[in-house]
Structure 1
Amino acid sequence: MKLHNLRDRLLQQEDLNFLLTNRVPRIALTRFMGWFSQIRQPLVRDASIAVWRLFTELDLSEARKPRFDSLHDCFTRELKPGARPFDPDPEVLASPCDGIVGACGEVAGLQVWQAKGFPYRLEDLFGDPARAEAFRDGCYVTLRLTSAMYHRFHAPHDARLQHVTHLTGDTWNVNPIALKRVERLFCRNERAALHLRLERGGHPLALVPVAAILVASLRLHALDLLLHGRYPGPHELPCDAPVDKGQELGWFQHGSTIIVFAPKGFRLVEGVATGLRVRAGQPLMHLPEDPLPAGDQGVGSTS
């Protein structure tokens, strides 16, 4: 307990936290962790998980497997069946992942906030003004996954995954301390924009997984690819994959942030606010009462 208290006091020192997690060779450390975490050696695995427990509240009681092949295997663990039930209400968009709610609310035109005083624009995040336009004056929620959380993410509703854009970039930490200091951080980091079309009402939806230091790889079931900083392309990846609400879409190699974007007419479920801890499957947004007009069924631009 004393060690955890010391850890918490150190991590609460913002200058020290920012220095230790950002003023370092971020990309090199991330690549090293990608290699180190996959070492399949029992002593390395056990020592790594033990050190991990010193710095996080790691709970493996819900893990499907009792033992892991490597640190990476533990990071990307599956859960026991039924551990994350998804709200069955067809009028509710569920959280795609476990996380802590960061900035959230209404999109102001095409501008959103990563933290107070630090705006960014959707066209910069998506890398495509036409795709961003679908979410003008819409609704968004930022979900930050801590390192100890469950790192897989799921379909928030019955939908079709229609397009993925991979954008290379940096690996700044995405914790609240960095978000208050680094302008347009989400637009600087490596990320992917997943564009979906809801079966109910035909509404567009976007999930944007954002990488962070030590966390810069993404695996999607719909694409037989591992997206990462050295992925050679192509970076525009059209697809047509139907997904059911709660179906697993993929996973971070370690964990980071997912930003959920919905168009105008969606609204946050009561109680969803900065600082709230949510689990995959919990209600996140209410769908609009009216379906999308037939002429607005495109994903925002051509594939």
Structure 2
Amino acid sequence: MNKVNRQLFRLLTELSSHKWLSERIGSFTRSKASRRLIRRFAKTYGIRVEEAERPLDAYESLNDFFIRRLKAGLRPVDPDAASLVSPVDGTVTGIGSMNDKLRFIVKGQEYGLDELLHDLTTKDRYRSGYFIVLYLSPADYHRVHSPVAGEVTATRRIPGSVYPVHERSLRHMPKVLSRNERLITCIRHRFGMTTVVKVGAMNVSSIRYTEPLRVRLDRGEELAFFEFGSTVVLLIEKEAFAFRDGLDVGSKVRVGEALGYWEAEGH
């Protein structure tokens, strides 16, 4: 993408990412009038409708279908208790280590945890730790599950914009992950602390906890869901952790699949 095209892309994205437009789109997708779009939406994005908990005709709106649950047993959780499991179905768009200044790079842009988490005191725990960014396309299942078994110690909602979070936007729009709306969950577990940052995106940009939000979570337990477009950033402490072999930018992952392991169990 040349300089002129980048500038045009940024301008069009800025113009289309206002909250009022997102709210109008959201109102329509939650209306019964949007129900007629479900089959077309599923076909356009190649959604595996046979995985949905209910038949298509049972969903009352496009949003109702978008936040669908899956049939029981389709996303088994990795049996190793020392594994960090994927909280979502998605694609890895960033993975690696943070430096000792709590900064990391995604698609050529540097982010700081002070930007991403604001004043959450837990951010210092991730000095020289790890991060992984998981993008959910419109075709993906959009519920978020806990990557660890542990106790929720803090939650925070940070208001923000509604920019798209696909690869082009991450590369060409300035610092999308720290400008969009975010819902943050800090979880203490037997190996330390993991923070789940749920980043809203263009159009509806609504992130909701599954109610009631439990204080104690099992690995793979449902935690939250997105309404249209999203990314999840996982932050992991440095101590005795390593991502599994072969996991890289572009890798496809599913809920419950092992992303990495703590060494306590002999890995």
Question: TM-score over 0.5 for the alignment?
Answer: yes
Q: Which moved more, 1:72-81 or 1:127-136?
A: 127-136
1:193 positional shift: 1.3
Trace 1:1-303 onto structure 2 (pairs within 5 A). Answer: 21-41=13-33, 44-46=34-36, 48-53=37-42, 55-67=44-56, 68-109=59-100, 110-116=102-108, 118-128=109-119, 130-198=121-189, 200-201=190-191, 203-221=192-210, 241-265=215-239, 266-289=241-264
Q: Which amino acid aligns with 2:32?
A: R
SS of the counterpart of 1:289? helix
- The C-alpha deviation readout for 1:281-302, integer Å capped at 9, x for no partner, is 1111211439xxxxxxxxxxxx
Report if aligned partners of 2:165, 2:229 keep a CA contact under 8 Å in 1: no
Structure 2, gaps ≥5 residues long? none
- The C-alpha deviation readout for 1:160-213, integer Å capped at 9, x for no partner, is 112111100111111111111122221111101110011x23x10100000111
Whole-angstrom CA distance in 1 between matches of 2:44 and 2:105? 29
Change (3 A) 1:242 1:279: same
Runs of 4+ in 1 over 4 A off after TM superposition: 13-22
Structure 1, gaps ≥5 residues long? 1-12, 225-239, 291-303
> Superposition RMSD on alpha carbons, in Å?
2.1
1:72 positional shift: 0.7
Whole-angstrom CA distance in 2 between matches of 1:64 and 1:14? 41
Q: Which amino acid aligns with 2:25?
A: M
Whole-angstrom CA distance in 1 between matches of 2:14 and 2:258? 33
**Alignment: residue pair count:** 257
Change (3 A) 1:21 1:45: farther
Report if aligned partners of 1:21, 1:213 keep a CA contact under 8 Å in 2: no
Q: Which amino acid aligns with 1:86?
A: V
Report if aligned partners of 1:179, 1:185 keep a CA contact under 8 Å in 2: yes
Change (3 A) 1:204 1:64: same
TM superposition score normalised by structure 1: 0.79
TM superposition score normalised by structure 2: 0.89
Whole-angstrom CA distance in 1 between matches of 2:164 and 2:65? 21
SS of the counterpart of 1:77? coil
1:155 positional shift: 1.1
1:24 positional shift: 1.8
Whole-angstrom CA distance in 1 between matches of 2:123 and 2:172? 25
1:218 positional shift: 1.5
Whole-angstrom CA distance in 2 between matches of 1:50 and 1:16? 33
Whole-angstrom CA distance in 1 between matches of 2:10 and 2:90? 21
Whole-angstrom CA distance in 1 between matches of 2:90 and 2:146? 15
1:29 positional shift: 2.2
Report if aligned partners of 1:29, 1:213 keep a CA contact under 8 Å in 2: no
1:32 positional shift: 1.1
Identical-pair percentage: 30
Q: Which amino acid aligns with 1:149?
A: D
Report if aligned partners of 1:211, 1:257 keep a CA contact under 8 Å in 2: yes
1:16 positional shift: 7.7
Equivalent residue, structure 2, for 1:234: none
1:53 positional shift: 4.0
1:223 positional shift: 5.3
